[in-house]
């Protein structure tokens, strides 16, 4: 395995070969202190944009069992901001058929002991452990990939580092994923005249399919909130867009309609700020949209209220 024995029964070897030291003691068992080089340290870093790279043993599985006819392969894995790719060597070509996207992935490290009792691992994980690898699994919750991946690495530390890196990538993907769904929109998008109120009944409101893209501040891409007549996001179904910029204001409570909020903003072509009032189907959906919109407006440079303040206002509104 490439381990380096540092001590036998707590005593340093001082240049003595480990086999010689063991024979001199003539004991039925020994306690060895070893150092194991992380396999991640034995190759290059995978190039620009790489989150992590290193040797892994990999096998495809389903239901905890290896797929028929498959055996573990030692491959160079490269994790970037969207996917996990594999090569036969650090400088080799990427195996396209082995590359998997990480949207919706669940990365799990097996639990081997619980309440002082040993727990059996699924066969594919147990087989990897028998090969002196530290196993973990990747599974796709919505079936984006038609199989599970069982991966094994050289040390427990490597496993924890890989799991942490993969979970961080998934969190990034989720944060940047568009928020989409049906919202009920108050008719018209115009600036309110002095003294005009949003406290009107829901008569005439329209159900629209909204899509919020977070944007990318580092790349100069602004967030966008567009609405359509149906979920198919085509030019033909596009009805309009809500301006999201540094001057946008997200608020809750101006409308008597439950689970509603408003976005007040002014685009370059607008003579005055425009207020768009939207209502969600329930409390949970309202929280989902408020969190996503707050994140988008922060990206746009807006001084939006805190999530806690927005949720508190939504809670008060639901009791009106």
In the structure encoding, which two tokens stand for residue 261, read together?
A: 């909020």
| pLDDT digit string (tens) for the chain, length 320 residues | 445 677 888 787 766 777 888 888 888 888 888 765 554 444 445 566 789 999 999 999 999 999 999 999 999 999 998 899 999 989 888 898 889 999 889 999 999 888 888 889 999 999 999 988 999 999 998 788 999 999 999 999 999 999 999 999 998 888 777 888 999 998 865 544 444 444 444 457 899 999 998 877 666 778 889 999 988 777 788 898 898 888 899 998 777 788 899 999 888 888 888 999 999 999 899 999 999 999 888 878 877 656 566 667 667 655 55
Length of the chain: 320
Give the C-alpha distances (Å, rounded to integers) separating 134 from 93, 100, 115. 26, 21, 21
C-alpha to C-alpha distance for 190 and 260, rounded to whole angstroms: 17
Q: What is the widest separation between alpha-carbon atoms in the chain?
A: 96
Contact 271, 281 (CB under 8 A): no
C-alpha to C-alpha distance for 98 and 294, rounded to whole angstroms: 37
Give the C-alpha distances (Å, rounded to integers) separating 153 from 92, 105, 128, 136, 307. 20, 19, 9, 9, 40
Helices (H), the chain: 18-25, 123-130, 156-176, 283-300, 307-318
Name the pTM for this structure.
Answer: 0.57
pLDDT the model gives residue 261? 93
In the structure encoding, which two tokens stand for residue 14, read together?
A: 């001082």
């Amino acid at each position: 395995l490439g381990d380096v024995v540092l001590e036998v029964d707590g005593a340093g070897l001082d240049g003595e070969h480990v086999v010689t030291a063991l024979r001199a003691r003539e004991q039925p068992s020994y306690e060895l202190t070893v150092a194991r080089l992380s396999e991640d340290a034995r190759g290059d870093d995978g190039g620009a944009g790489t989150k992590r790279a290193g040797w892994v043993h990999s096998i495809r599985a389903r239901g905890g069992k290896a797929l028929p006819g498959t055996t573990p392969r030692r491959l160079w894995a490269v994790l970037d901001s969207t996917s996990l790719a594999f090569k036969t060597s650090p400088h080799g070509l990427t195996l396209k058929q082995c590359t998997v996207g990480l949207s919706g992935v669940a990365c799990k490290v097996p639990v081997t002991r619980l309440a002082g009792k040993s727990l059996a691992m699924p066969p594919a994980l147990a087989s990897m452990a028998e090969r002196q690898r530290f196993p973990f699994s990747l599974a796709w919750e919505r079936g984006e990939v038609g199989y599970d991946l069982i991966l094994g690495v050289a040390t427990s530390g490597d496993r924890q580092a890989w799991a942490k890196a993969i979970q961080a990538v998934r969190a990034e993907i989720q944060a940047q994923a568009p928020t989409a769904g049906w919202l009920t929109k108050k008719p018209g998008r115009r600036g309110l005249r002095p003294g005009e109120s949003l406290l009107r009944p829901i008569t005439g409101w329209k159900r629209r399919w909204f899509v919020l893209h977070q944007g990318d501040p580092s790349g100069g891409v602004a967030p966008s909130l567009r609405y359509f007549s149906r979920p198919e996001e085509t030019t033909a179904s596009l009805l309009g867009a809500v301006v999201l910029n540094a001057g946008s204001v997200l608020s809750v409570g101006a409308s008597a309609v439950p689970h509603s909020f408003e976005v007040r903003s002014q685009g370059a072509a607008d003579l005055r700020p425009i207020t768009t009032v939207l209502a969600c189907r329930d409390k949970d959906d309202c929280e989902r949209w408020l969190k996503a919109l707050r994140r988008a407006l922060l990206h746009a440079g807006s001084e939006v209220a805190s999530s806690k303040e927005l949720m508190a206002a939504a809670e008060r509104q639901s009791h009106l």
